[in-house]
Structure formats: C-alpha cells, structure tokens
Amino acid sequence: MQLMGRPYRNLVREMTWSQFAVRDQNSVLGLVWSFLHPAVMVGVLFAYFRANAGKDVKHYGIYLLFGMIHYTHFSNTTSGAMNCLHGMAQLTRHTVLPKEVLVISSVIAASMEFAVSIGFCVLLAWFSGIHLSFAVLALPLVLALQIVFALWVSFLLATIRVFVKDLNHIYQVFLRLLFFTTPIFYAAAFLRSPFAQRLLHFNLLAQLIGFSRSLVIGGTQFPVAFFLALWAFHGLALALAFLLFKYCESGFAEYV
C-alpha cells in the first residue's frame, strides 16, 4: 500500500491544478487573483501592524506575517481537505480511484498560495532592511514540513468527517483556540507562566513558525537534530493517518 503510487501521480497533478483553477473561475482576474491575493494580504498586514503594534518585537511586521501565513495555511488547508470527500461526493461514491487522491490534491492546491505568500514575505523582509543570511535557503524545508503536517491532519480529519457530521463545528472551535495559544501576534516571552511556555514545545505549528522566523529575521539555522526529529514524527503521523484513511475507505461511499 503506497501513499503515491506511480499510476496516480498524473491524476494527482491534474486534480491539483483543477482544484486550484476552479476556485476563481468566475472572478474577473481569474487565476491571477491566486497570486495577487497573497501579495495584497502580506502588504496590508505588514504596513498596518508595522506602524501600530509590536513595538517591543524586532521587525514586528515580518514577525506577524510569518505567524499569520503559517496559521492561515494550516487552517484553510485542513478545513478544505476535511470536506473534500463531501465536496466531491460524485467522485467519492461512483468513481473507482484511490480516494487519497482527493485529499492530496486538495492540500497541494491550497499550499500553492502558501508558498507564494512566504516568498512575498521574504521579499518584504529584504526591502524592510533585514539582512538575509544563507540560512534562508533552508526555508523550503520548513514549508515542506508544514505541508506534510497539514497532509496527515487532513487525512485524519477527512476520515473522521465522513462518520462524524459535527466535526466541522468542533474543528472551528479548535482552530480559534489554536490561534490564541500560538505565538502569532505575541512573542513567547509574553507568556509569563513557565508552564504555558513549556506547553509551546508541544505546539507543532508554533515550532514551524519559529523556524521560519529564525531563518529570515534572526538569520540563524534551526537545531538540525530537533528538526530531523520533527520530520520523523510527522512522517510517522502521516503513515498512521494514511493507514486509517485506507482502512475506512470502503465505507466512504455509503456515508458521504
């Protein structure tokens, strides 16, 4: 049992492109908006928060943007993939294809905007006077790890969503809690409780945001051993979530 068998790679590519393209097919700008949107979002947030908040955080505008971009990608990607089996019910019920193709293509399509947003954020960091070191070359590894993170969570959510109809509401509550318990708009030092600061070590999204900030703003490399340990954890989680997805796949057509 493979996550991405060779016969289905072309299918994943085509479905990724179709999901990416169809989102804005009725708009005036069409696909161009998929690239303009992250640029506008990054620019507005940078200008506003750089002038009005975060005076105690160095390069707060960029600091905030990395947090927002990482969180928004995780939130939108997992929420969309959670409902992809229901959203493409005809394919789920009547088409003979591995249903993981629907989840994978949904995650990849949403991750295109993530990569573009991070690219604009790095450019803004450079224009705002941040000296970019060679450490920034490791940023794609962090992006790849976040996509793997979003992928295994998406497999898990898509599986549970088939059988638990209220999962949408439960997950939205979780995302709100995640937003305020992740140092997106505040620094970790803001949490004065040592217990609260220790809990951040178990916040997987906070770890990824911290890696990006260190590479771009701090110009320092992340701890390689810890980063590899996170890759091992997310790889194992992806394998287990995928196995659960395949185990339940036979019942999808009945409940979707």
Give the per-residue pLDDT at 28: 47
CB 200 within 8 A of CB 191: yes
- Of all residues in the chain, the percent with pLDDT exceeding 90 is 43
pLDDT, greater one: 15 or 104: 104
Average pLDDT score over residue span 209-229: 93
Q: Residue ranges per domain, the chain?
A: 6-255
Burial code (b: 16+ CB inside 10 Å, e: under 16) for 201-219 equals eebbbbbbbbbbbbbbbee
pLDDT, greater one: 155 or 101: 155
Cβ neighbors of 201 (< 8 A, separation 6 or more) are 207
**Cα–Cα dist 140/246, whole Å:** 29
- Of all residues in the chain, the percent with pLDDT exceeding 70 is 76
For residue 203, what is the DSSP state? -
- What's the pLDDT tens digit per position in 4-26? 556 666 766 666 666 655 555 44
Alpha-carbon separation of residue 224 from 136, 229, 230 (angstroms): 14, 9, 10
Whether residue 37 has pLDDT greater than 60: no
DSSP 3-state of 132:
coil
**Cα–Cα dist 158/167, whole Å:** 10
For residue 220, what is the DSSP state? -
CB 91 within 8 A of CB 103: no
- What's the pLDDT tens digit per position in 147-166? 999 999 999 999 999 998 88
Asked which of 89-103, 132-146, 206-220 is least confident by mean pLDDT, the reply is 89-103
